């Protein structure tokens, strides 16, 4: 069993990852400064003797008394929604810092500890892609100065730092390019598409779609994602690999709105209320051939099964 540091482990993905690793018998240390989380997600671990929480900004050096065998860098604001107070627009400076300086600090810590390292990158490094679906070799179509650049470009540089560490320092590192993921423990202020649709639907408020709703999204349920992340970290053949993790099943935003409305039994009307935000991708879907081959991984949770769990979670917050 390993001693695992999860930077950003109080957040949505990190806390689900912590839960899985603790259940498998690992020791887990969460380093998080609660920028985009409240601590509620890790409340259930507080009496577990294999769990430690440190309130720490990972853009500063990890305290010297901490050691680890594996480091997941999951710390970053992640919501693109302009109306969210925890979005990477609202937290632009923090987003740039945590994905660049934070990545430097955590890679340095992993190197010092001779630990494995995983950087949580994103499908957003492909920008508004000109190729579908996106393979890992695709270099993207990204604006360096547009409104999403604080996130996209910081993640791209985070990948550069990670690859520098495996190439020049021999760090046992890898990069996960995570595509849209949803599930329990998402912050109620996150307001990413599916959470917003469900919140609107359960309150019978209008379900609001940006643009004409013909843009597509592919959504991965959290349990599938954390399985992929742990395989990518711990499988033998993964050093210096870059792997897409996401669900390739693609639907239009209009279809998601209709499915949510049906599953919640809502009387909400579906409205197209705003223009599509600048640089919002029209299509994005992962090619997961590499994950299938390298990790024997593919998503198993069906869309309706995952959405029903998410609806249950949202009704309870």
Active site residues: 151
Residue 58 binds to ligand NAD (criterion: CB under 6 A): yes
Measured distance CA(38)–CA(287) in Å, rounded: 34
Nearest approach, Cβ of residue 181 and ligand NAD (Å): 4
Measured distance CA(81)–CA(271) in Å, rounded: 17
Stretch that binds ligand NAD, among 164-172, 176-184, 203-211, 274-282 (CB under 6 A): 176-184
Whole-angstrom CA distances from 252 to 61, 177, 178, 265 are: 43, 22, 19, 20
> Can you tell me which of 27, 57, 105, 223 binds ligand NAD, judged by CB under 6 A?
57
Contact 51, 57 (CB under 8 A): no
Stretch that binds ligand NAD, among 29-37, 106-114, 204-212, 284-292 (CB under 6 A): 29-37
Closer CB to ligand NAD, 188 or 292, in the complex: 188
Closer CB to ligand NAD, 70 or 120, in the complex: 120
Binding-residue total with ligand NAD (CB under 6 A): 30
Measured distance CA(289)–CA(194) in Å, rounded: 26
Stretch that binds ligand NAD, among 35-43, 45-53, 62-70, 289-297 (CB under 6 A): 35-43
Whole-angstrom CA distances from 153 to 47, 124, 145, 241 are: 39, 9, 9, 20
> Can you tell me which of 5, 6, 12, 301 binds ligand NAD, judged by CB under 6 A?
12
What would the DSSP string read from start to end of 263-287?
HHT--PPEEEEEPPPTT--S---B-
Nearest approach, Cβ of residue 212 and ligand NAD (Å): 23
Q: Is the peptide bond before 133 cis (omega within 30 degrees of 0)?
A: yes
Show the site string, 108-147: x = touches ligand NAD by CB under 6 A, - = not. Answer: ------------x-x-------------------------
Residue 37 binds to ligand NAD (criterion: CB under 6 A): yes
Residue 178 binds to ligand NAD (criterion: CB under 6 A): yes
Residue 84 binds to ligand NAD (criterion: CB under 6 A): no
Which residue sits closest to ligand NAD, CB atoms considered?
11
Instruction: Of 8, 17, 41, 36, give the one whose Cα is nearest residue 313.
Output: 41
Beta strands in the chain (DSSP E): 3-7, 27-32, 51-55, 70-73, 116-122, 172-178, 181-182, 207-210, 216-218, 220-221, 242-245, 250-252, 270-274
Nearest approach, Cβ of residue 135 and ligand NAD (Å): 17
Stretch that binds ligand NAD, among 57-65, 161-169, 265-273, 302-310 (CB under 6 A): 57-65
Closer CB to ligand NAD, 185 or 266, in the complex: 185
Phi, psi angle pair for 154, to nearest 5°: -65, -40
Contact 314, 160 (CB under 8 A): no
> Can you tell me which of 76, 162, 216, 247 binds ligand NAD, judged by CB under 6 A?
76
Summarize as ranges the residues that interact with ligand NAD (CB under 6 A).
7-8, 10-14, 32-37, 57-59, 74-78, 94, 98, 102, 120, 122, 178, 180-181, 187
């Amino acid at each position: 069993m390993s001693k695992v540091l999860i930077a950003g482990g109080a957040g949505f993905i990190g806390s689900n990852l912590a839960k899985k690793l603790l259940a498998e018998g690992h020791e887990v240390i969460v380093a998080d400064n609660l920028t985009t989380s409240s601590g509620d997600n890790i409340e259930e671990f507080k009496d577990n003797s294999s769990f430690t929480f440190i309130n720490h900004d990972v853009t500063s050096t990890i305290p010297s008394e901490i050691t680890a065998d594996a480091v997941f860098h999951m710390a970053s604001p992640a919501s693109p929604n302009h109306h969210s107070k925890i979005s990477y627009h609202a937290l632009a400076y923090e987003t740039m810092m945590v994905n660049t300086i934070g990545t430097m600090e955590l890679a340095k810590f992993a190197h010092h500890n001779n630990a494995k390292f995983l950087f949580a990158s994103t499908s957003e490094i492909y920008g508004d892609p000109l190729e579908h679906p996106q393979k890992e070799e695709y270099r993207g179509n990204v604006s360096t100065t547009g409104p999403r650049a604080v996130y996209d470009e910081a993640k791209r540089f985070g990948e550069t730092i990670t690859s520098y560490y495996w190439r020049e320092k021999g760090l046992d590192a890898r990069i996960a390019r995570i595509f849209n993921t949803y599930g329990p423990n998402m912050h109620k202020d996150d307001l990413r598409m599916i959470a917003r649709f469900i919140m609107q639907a359960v309150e019978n408020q209008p379900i609001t779609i940006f643009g004409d709703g013909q843009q597509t999204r592919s959504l991965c349920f959290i349990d599938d994602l954390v399985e992929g992340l742990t395989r990518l970290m711990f499988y033998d053949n993964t050093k210096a690999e870059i792997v897409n993790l996401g669900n390739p099943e693609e639907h239009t935003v209009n279809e998601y709105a209709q499915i949510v409305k049906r599953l919640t039994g809502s009387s909400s009307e579906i409205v197209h209320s705003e223009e599509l935000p600048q640089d919002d991708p029209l299509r994005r879907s992962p090619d997961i051939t590499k994950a299938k081959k390298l990790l024997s991984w593919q998503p198993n949770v069906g869309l309706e099964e995952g959405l029903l769990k998410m609806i249950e979670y949202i009704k309870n917050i």
